[in-house]
């Protein structure tokens, strides 16, 4: 029991540290803990996901809906979320039941990890480690977004994105950054460089 508590507390500290690293507008741990809807949604999801895995599906869904009402962020209890996950601003984020999100992922407001099928299959995205998704991005269906990839604001992704690639536009076009290219600058590259 004590080990479980220590692991849980270490995870909370890790989440707060990751959030502080990614949010230059926050000046203290206390501010982050008290005023970050993204962190609150992630913490509530960790509880609802544990309930879901233990077969307590109704309480898990109720908790996720209460969290949605409070934070504006909807994460289905069945979704699998990695470590140091951070949602900046948060409002309007939706993560579907079969979504899988890796470690060190950052989402901005309005991101949807949604499905394109009503079948009871893997119908939501798999997001690798170290991925960043801009505001309003939509990743739809059982696509894979590779490690270190970036999805630009308002992009609509309906096919796999390779590791360390950049996806922007509607529908998203994929490109690999050139050597020595700043990843943020790569989001604004000339169209000739796109594949």
Residue 59 has pLDDT above 60, yes or no: yes
Q: Which two tokens stand for residue 187?
A: 């989001």
Average pLDDT over residues 2-15: 70
Instruction: Decide: 139 and 127 in contact? Cβ < 8 Å.
Output: yes
Average pLDDT over residues 88-116: 96
Task: Record the pTM.
Answer: 0.88
Query: pLDDT at position 23, please?
Result: 87
Biggest CA-to-CA distance, the chain: 58
Q: Which two tokens stand for residue 48?
A: 């609802």
Residue among 30, 40, 98, 48 nearest 73 (CA): 40
Residue 68 has pLDDT above 70, yes or no: yes
Across-strand partners of 75? 95
Query: Alpha helices of 23-107 — where are they, by DSSP H?
Result: 29-35, 37-53, 57-71
Query: pLDDT at position 73, please?
Result: 97
Query: pLDDT at position 1, please?
Result: 43
For residue 107, what is the enclosing H or E element? Answer: strand 106-107
pLDDT band for position 177 (cuts 50, 70, 90): confident
Query: pLDDT at position 3, please?
Result: 52
Give all domains of the chain, ordered by start, each with its CATH number: 2-193 (2.160.10.10)
Say how far apart CA 93 and CA 50 lie, in whole Å.
21
How would you classify the pairing of strands 100-101 and 126-127?
A: parallel
For residue 9, what is the enclosing H or E element? Answer: helix 2-22
Using one digit for the tens of pLDDT, what is the confidence trace for 179-190? 776 666 666 665
Which position among 40, 49, 89, 109 bears the catalytic label? Answer: 109
Q: Is 109 a catalytic residue?
A: yes
Mean pLDDT of the residues in the chain: 90
């Amino acid at each position: 029991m004590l080990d479980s508590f220590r692991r849980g507390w270490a995870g909370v500290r890790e989440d707060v540290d990751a959030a502080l690293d990614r949010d230059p507008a926050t000046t203290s741990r206390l501010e982050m803990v008290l005023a970050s809807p993204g962190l609150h949604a992630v913490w509530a999801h960790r509880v609802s996901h544990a309930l879901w895995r233990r077969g307590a599906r109704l309480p898990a869904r109720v908790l996720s809906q209460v969290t949605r009402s409070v934070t504006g962020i909807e994460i289905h209890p069945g979704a699998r979320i990695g470590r140091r996950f951070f949602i900046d601003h948060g409002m309007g984020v939706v993560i579907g039941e079969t979504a899988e999100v890796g470690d060190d992922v950052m989402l901005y407001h309005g991101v949807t990890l949604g499905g394109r099928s009503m079948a009871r299959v893997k119908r939501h995205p798999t997001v690798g480690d170290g991925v960043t998704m801009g505001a309003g991005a939509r990743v739809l269906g059982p696509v894979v977004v590779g490690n270190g990839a970036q999805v630009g604001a308002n992009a609509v992704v309906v096919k796999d994105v390779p590791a360390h690639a950049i996806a922007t536009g509607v529908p998203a076009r994929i490109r690999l950054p050139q050597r020595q290219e700043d990843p943020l600058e790569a989001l604004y590259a000339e169209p000739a460089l796109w594949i």
